[in-house]
């Protein structure tokens, strides 16, 4: 099986502006400290960690919204670590992102149709409207939603619009950053079921960032556990849950409140 992503010894640091002296450069904070993994085509990779673990930064580096400081990211055989925007532009159609907060990631003044359609037109693809309608069907919203505004939709429906916008471009890879954490459990279940089906139907590769290991277990075939910018666990999902290797993974598992009053929780 070929790897869609190959990430090798990835480092990323940002300037710490709260400690910047009046003259001279700010000291740097290391967010990612040497991350290496491969993501095979067609797989769903879960990326887990607490706040500040660097999981969103890693995701943003993978879709090159942030530029790594050192190391390399290969996408489908092409090194995109420091690729300039001109080189990235044609690739951007192929790696899409779904954001955490569907309200702030959808333009409130645009109708759903326009939101889903304009990236297709922007990439110069044929027949944007047909693709938009098809994508709305695929996420189970139906074509009548094309004329609605985001504020007329529920949280789960908004997140479906985010998914439709991503798949309308027929990408190879989708990064989903905490896309269900703002939804209530029933909508979470619906969005996850949808995502699972789309990955299978469209042959997508997915990286799913979450702090919720229960969701990861349901969806992902492989898990990376991040803690303070380092991978502490990289294993198939079943193994992570059956035999967690790292102390941090065990802490995470123990902290999840199961709907069971008899679960020891200390």
Partner 1 sequence: MSFLVIRNLTARLKGTDQRLLRGVSLDVAAGEVRGLVGESGAGKSMIGKAILGTLPKAVEITGGEILLDGTDLLRLPPARRRSLIGATAALIPQDPLTALNPSRRIGGQITDRLVDILGWTRARADARARELLDEVQIPDADRVLGAYPHELSGGMRQRILIASAFAAEPKLIIADEPTTALDVTVQKQILRLIGAMQARHGTALLFVTHDLGVVSKVCQSLSILYGGLVVEDTLARDFFAGPRHAYSRALLAATPKYTDPQASLVPVPEAVLAEVQAEVAAYDGRAT
| H-run or E-run covering 187 | helix 185-202
Residue 192 binding partner 1, by CB under 8 A: yes
Nearer to partner 1, 120 or 209 (CB): 209
Residues within window 197-226 making contact with partner 1, judged by CB under 8 A: 211-218
3-class state of residue 11 by DSSP = strand
Q: Which among 84, 65, 19, 37 is positioned nearest to 226, based on CA atoms?
A: 37
Strand order through the sheet with 95-98:
95-98, 173-177, 205-210, 44-48, 222-227, 230-236
Residue 187 binding partner 1, by CB under 8 A: yes
CB of 195 within 8 A of CB of 203? no
Nearer to partner 1, 45 or 252 (CB): 252
CB of 102 within 8 A of CB of 148? no
Residue 37 binding partner 1, by CB under 8 A: no
Sole window of 32-40, 73-81, 131-139, 178-186 interacting with partner 1 (rule: CB under 8 A): 178-186
| Residue of the chain from 155, 170, 228, 230 that contacts partner 1 (CB under 8 A) | 155
Size of the residue set binding partner 1 (CB under 8 A): 37
Token pair for residue 139?
A: 């996420």
Write down the least CB distance from residue 17 to partner 1, Å.
12
Nearer to partner 1, 52 or 203 (CB): 52
Sole window of 28-36, 106-114, 135-143, 177-185 interacting with partner 1 (rule: CB under 8 A): 177-185
Q: Which among 161, 152, 166, 158 is positioned nearest to 123, based on CA atoms?
A: 166
* φ, ψ at 106 (rounded to 5°): -115, 130
| H-run or E-run covering 229 | none
Write down the least CB distance from residue 1 to partner 1, Å.
24
Which positions lie near partner 1, rule CB under 8 A? 50-52, 154-155, 181, 183-190, 192-193, 211-218, 241, 251-253, 255-261, 263, 265
């Amino acid at each position: 099986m070929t790897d869609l992503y190959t990430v090798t010894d990835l480092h990323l640091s940002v300037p710490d502006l709260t400690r910047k002296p009046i003259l001279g450069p700010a000291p740097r904070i290391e967010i990612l400290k040497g991350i290496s993994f491969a993501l095979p085509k067609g797989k769903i990779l879960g990326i887990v960690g607490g706040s500040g673990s660097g999981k969103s930064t890693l995701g943003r580096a993978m879709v090159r919204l942030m530029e790594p400081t050192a190391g390399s990211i290969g996408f489908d055989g092409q090194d995109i670590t420091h690729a300039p925007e001109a080189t990235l532009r044609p690739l951007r159609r192929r790696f899409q992102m779904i954001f955490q907060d569907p309200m702030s990631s959808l333009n409130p003044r645009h109708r759903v149709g326009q939101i889903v359609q304009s990236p297709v037109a922007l990439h110069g693809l044929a027949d944007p409207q047909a693709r938009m309608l098809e994508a709305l069907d695929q996420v189970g919203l139906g074509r009548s939603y094309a004329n609605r505004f985001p504020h007329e939709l529920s949280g789960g429906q908004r997140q479906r619009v985010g998914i439709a916008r991503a798949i309308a471009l027929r990408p190879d890879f989708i990064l989903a950053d905490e896309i269900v954490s703002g939804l209530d459990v029933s909508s979470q279940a619906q969005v996850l079921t949808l995502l699972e089906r789309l990955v299978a139907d469209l042959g997508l590769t997915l990286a799913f960032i979450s702090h919720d290991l229960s969701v990861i277990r349901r969806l992902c075939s492989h898990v990376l556990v991040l803690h303070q910018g380092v991978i502490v666990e990289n294993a198939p999902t079943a193994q992570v849950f059956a035999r967690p290797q790292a102390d941090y993974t065990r802490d995470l598992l123990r902290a999840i409140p199961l709907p069971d009053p008899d679960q020891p929780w200390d």
